[in-house]
Structure 1
Amino acid sequence: MPLSRRTFLAAGTGAAVAGLTGCGSRSSLGSASELTMWTWVGSVNDDLIGQAEKGIPGYDGLKLSMTRIGSNYKTKVLTALAGKSLVPDIVAINDDVATYFPNADQFHDLSELGAKERENDFLAWKWKLGVTPQGKMMAYPMDTGPTALFYRSDLFEKAGVDIDPAAVAQQAPDWDSYIALGKKIQQAIPGAAITDNVNSVFAYRMAQQPQRYMTADGRYLGDQDHVREAFDLAIRVVREGLSANAQDGSTDADAVVTNGRLVAFNAAVWWAQLGPKNAAPKTKGNWRVAAAPGGAGNRGGSFLAITKYCKNPEAAFAFISWLESAQNQAEAFLDPVLFPSTPASYTDPRLTAPDEFFGGQRIVDVFAESAKKYPGAYFSPYDSIIGDQLSAQLVIVETGGKSPDQAWNDAQEQIERELTRAGAI
């Protein structure tokens, strides 16, 4: 299922990309005395934004005007770009940054605004994710989503497992030993699970891989061994009885954390807040974090981009580089818990303070190591199309609807149809 470089560069995410060829007056949103910015709730630190709303650092008389969009964020950004009117100066972009690459002509090349001088301040793999296959730096790094193993120390202790994070990491350095550890815990705690559902295993195993579904020149990899290995691993965890079968977005997703059934979970740093701190506050002090089985990984993380309609690109770049400095990324880790892409932040006292929810552990050390060791992988504009089809088939296997081989073959056939429909092949 090869993709030509020509179709890869020309195609995008279907109709949304086609819409960017529309007509309209070219104008940015807001007055000449302000820089406008769109983002979503929970993507930036409010105190830092409040400072910029009083004045952009280094630019007297210029202020930030930020809008938080609650739903359909990406659609609204693409619609504004398509109309070429009332386009914000700055937009936040989620970890699907590659889906914007076919529209790179709608954004400034940040390397021309001085980004190269700041490259060494960031994790190399994170920096590369914002650069198009043609070498244009379209998006500036914000946060990351390094992964680690969360576990209930009280339940591990009940099962006779050494609860020291270094000892846990040594007992489960890979997924095979993690499965064996899960089976041991089940002997003491019947029904104990080491993942919430089949797709989490697949997603987090893929998050550890040095390659994903496509190459930068458009070659399809979604049918190769590293993907099949993650696919089969997810099914194996389910068949070993180690999945809680709690699907994302369901009431069960919180319940298995609250009731203690989910005794361990290989997840991204943001799950600390989304999972135990939110769903099981009474378990404060009982959680710990260790290096993840299977190695370092990353899932999530955002970017900032400056649209080509920006009224003052130099000021906009000065603002985003200030906002995403090591000092300010450390501030954003406190609220809204965004893990920095700047390694200098990892020794900031605001990050290294003991976390009482995790028994006083300095959890930043574990996630920092994961962030630094993550091998990095190329994300293509079509990753969501490919990943969604594989994930859908895994759910069918989890519920007993298909054999793994049939589900794999059906996923590949559906991916080919979807990529054809998207104009990728």
Structure 2
Amino acid sequence: MTLTRRKFLTLSTGGAAAALGLTGCGGSRDSLGGPDELSMWTWVGSVNDSLIGQAEKAIPGATAKRLAMTRIGTSYKTKVLTALAGKSLVPDIVAMNDDVATYFPNADQFLDLHELGADRFKGDFLEWKWKLGITPENRMMAYPMDTGPTALFYRRDLFAKAGVETEPEDVAAAAPDWESYIQLAKKVKAAIPGSAITDNITSIYLYALAQQTKRYMTPDGQYIGDQDHLRQVWDLAVRVVKEGLSANAQADTTDVNAVVTNGRLVAFNAAVWWAQLGPKNAAPATKGNWRVCAPPGGAGNRGGSFLAITKYCKDPEAAFAFITWLESAKNQAEAFLDPVLFPSTPASYDDQRLTAPDPFFGGQRIVDVFAASAEKYPGSYFSPYDSVIATPITAELVNVEVGSKTSDQAWKDAQEQVHRELSRMGAI
């Protein structure tokens, strides 16, 4: 099924783009900024400031141009879509989060990077990451930035107290899959009452989903989110709760940090960026006690960004020179230091700036664990409808955790809501 612009407009619920009637190519107007600068929109924490500072003086490879970057704090996607809808004051370059596929139905508003010579850089990147920026029609709309490989974070000191394996290699060997991991967690809980391996049911679901080779839809538009591979992920999340291994700290509450601070969360299967947002932020006093190892259930990925060049760009060649320079292996290694963006370029994984021992993790070279996860991750297709589908599913999972619905009833209700939404959009 080819995605239509009508479906995209419906998908952009609540956005000004829908209200303004985002349509295809129109008369191009000047993009933002003066003739000697390229404008770029992104959000806080998506790029390295020192690299941007260099480009603001003169873009490497295009010294006649400089970068003018705007960090947008809230409603980022809505503002991008609004600018595209109006075809006026559109930035030359835009960043996109891991929901890059939601822009695919409007790919004609962006340049095809194949035509700018992107393929000569393909070998520098993780193959699965490269593919995520390419539409089902083989239009390369977005260039890879960072990734979000997953691993198992755990408290070595608390594992030692519980009398289970403590070294990363041993923990990984003891819990290569979710079943053995649950059994290990039950041993820890028996020794340390109240301990948990997830903050809430949604996290288990999302991180187990992040390991799958199939998600919600196929590239030709078939809905598969009601099939066995999704029900198995759902059942796993429910089981973790039923075993008493969830801290029941719901997302967007202070409880999420509290269970890290007070030591209740003894382990957590999470993406690389959680190291900073989780223990380093919420439990700095636990420095030296954390370790990471290969995740139960296999390599996964959750998160990662992209850069795209709009069709309104005043100098596509200069813009392409900028994004390829910014996302080179050398510069991605720099971006890992600040703001902790994990590279999509494997050559970065041997950079000394990444391989240095991390004192917070007891001197472990954690990059080795995340690099292995990034390289082993099989990849999966993300559709423009993934967020629409995920919303009722995760909401119904919360109903199971709080006890307001049975698992079977919640699954049935979630699927009915998904089918209703996709039908309303004309997606199925």
**TM-score, scaled to structure 1:** 0.97
Structure 2 counterpart of 1:215, one-letter code: T
1:340 partner SS: coil
> Hey, what's the Cα distance between the residues in 2 that align with 1:242 and 1:11?
40
Q: What's the C-alpha RMSD, in Å, of the aligned pairs?
A: 1.2
**What is the CA-CA distance between 1:25 and the residue it aligns to?**
6.2
> Hey, what's the Cα distance between the residues in 2 that align with 1:354 and 1:159?
26
Q: State whether residues 8 and 424 of structure 1, in contact with CA within 8 Å, keep that contact through their aligned partners in structure 2.
A: no
Q: State whether residues 294 and 373 of structure 2, in contact with CA within 8 Å, keep that contact through their aligned partners in structure 1.
A: yes
- Paired residue for 1:327? 330
Structure 2 counterpart of 1:20, one-letter code: L
**What is the CA-CA distance between 1:370 and the residue it aligns to?**
0.2
> Hey, what's the Cα distance between the residues in 2 that align with 1:288 and 1:25?
52
Partner residue of 1:110 out of 91, 94, 113: 113
Partner residue of 2:286 out of 280, 283, 288: 283
Q: State whether residues 3 and 105 of structure 2, in contact with CA within 8 Å, keep that contact through their aligned partners in structure 1.
A: no
After TM superposition, list the pairs within 5 Å mapping 1:13-412 onto structure 2: 13-14=11-12, 16=15, 18=18, 19-21=21-23, 26-412=29-415
Q: Percent identity?
A: 74
Q: State whether residues 14 and 423 of structure 1, in contact with CA within 8 Å, keep that contact through their aligned partners in structure 2.
A: no
**What is the CA-CA distance between 1:419 and the residue it aligns to?**
1.0
> Hey, what's the Cα distance between the residues in 2 that align with 1:38 and 1:8?
26
Deviations 1:62-118 (A, max 9, x none): 100000000000000000000000000000000000000001000000011110000
1:386 partner SS: helix
**What is the CA-CA distance between 1:26 and the residue it aligns to?**
2.2
Q: State whether residues 8 and 218 of structure 1, in contact with CA within 8 Å, keep that contact through their aligned partners in structure 2.
A: no
**What is the CA-CA distance between 1:9 and the residue it aligns to?**
6.8
1:11 partner SS: helix
> Hey, what's the Cα distance between the residues in 2 that align with 1:58 and 1:115?
15
> Hey, what's the Cα distance between the residues in 1 that align with 2:213 and 2:82?
33
Distance 1:230 1:364, change over 3 A: same
Q: State whether residues 7 and 423 of structure 1, in contact with CA within 8 Å, keep that contact through their aligned partners in structure 2.
A: no
**What is the CA-CA distance between 1:249 and the residue it aligns to?**
1.4
Structure 2 counterpart of 1:389, one-letter code: P
> Hey, what's the Cα distance between the residues in 2 that align with 1:105 and 1:127?
19
Partner residue of 2:7 out of 8, 11, 15: 11
- In the alignment, structure 1 segments of 5+ residues that lack a partner are none
Q: State whether residues 101 and 381 of structure 1, in contact with CA within 8 Å, keep that contact through their aligned partners in structure 2.
A: yes
**What is the CA-CA distance between 1:30 and the residue it aligns to?**
0.6
> Hey, what's the Cα distance between the residues in 2 that align with 1:337 and 1:14?
30
Q: State whether residues 40 and 92 of structure 2, in contact with CA within 8 Å, keep that contact through their aligned partners in structure 1.
A: yes
**What is the CA-CA distance between 1:11 and the residue it aligns to?**
1.9
Structure 1 counterpart of 2:7, one-letter code: A
**What is the CA-CA distance between 1:61 and the residue it aligns to?**
2.6
2:418 partner SS: helix
Structure 1 counterpart of 2:240, one-letter code: V
> Hey, what's the Cα distance between the residues in 2 that align with 1:289 and 1:149?
5
Distance 1:409 1:247, change over 3 A: same
Q: State whether residues 216 and 386 of structure 2, in contact with CA within 8 Å, keep that contact through their aligned partners in structure 1.
A: yes
> Hey, what's the Cα distance between the residues in 2 that align with 1:95 and 1:262?
27
Q: Which moved more, 1:24-33 or 1:102-111?
A: 24-33
> Hey, what's the Cα distance between the residues in 2 that align with 1:304 and 1:190?
46
1:265 partner SS: strand
- In the alignment, structure 2 segments of 5+ residues that lack a partner are none
Structure 1 stretches of 4+ moved >6 Å: 22-25
> Hey, what's the Cα distance between the residues in 2 that align with 1:14 and 1:278?
34
**What is the CA-CA distance between 1:421 and the residue it aligns to?**
2.4
**What is the CA-CA distance between 1:340 and the residue it aligns to?**
0.1
> Hey, what's the Cα distance between the residues in 1 that align with 2:217 and 2:271?
23
Structure 2 counterpart of 1:11, one-letter code: K
Q: State whether residues 28 and 312 of structure 2, in contact with CA within 8 Å, keep that contact through their aligned partners in structure 1.
A: no
1:310 partner SS: coil
- Paired residue for 2:426? 423
Deviations 1:28-79 (A, max 9, x none): 1111000000000000000000000000112223100000000000000000
> Hey, what's the Cα distance between the residues in 1 that align with 2:425 and 2:147?
29
Distance 1:157 1:8, change over 3 A: farther
**What is the CA-CA distance between 1:132 and the residue it aligns to?**
0.2
1:288 partner SS: strand
Structure 2 counterpart of 1:222, one-letter code: G
2:41 partner SS: strand
Deviations 1:343-371 (A, max 9, x none): 00000000000000000000000000000
1:149 partner SS: strand
**What is the CA-CA distance between 1:417 and the residue it aligns to?**
1.1
> Hey, what's the Cα distance between the residues in 2 that align with 1:31 and 1:66?
13
> Hey, what's the Cα distance between the residues in 2 that align with 1:6 and 1:303?
23
1:144 partner SS: coil
> Hey, what's the Cα distance between the residues in 2 that align with 1:270 and 1:423?
36
**TM-score, scaled to structure 2:** 0.97
Q: State whether residues 24 and 85 of structure 1, in contact with CA within 8 Å, keep that contact through their aligned partners in structure 2.
A: no
Q: State whether residues 156 and 291 of structure 2, in contact with CA within 8 Å, keep that contact through their aligned partners in structure 1.
A: yes
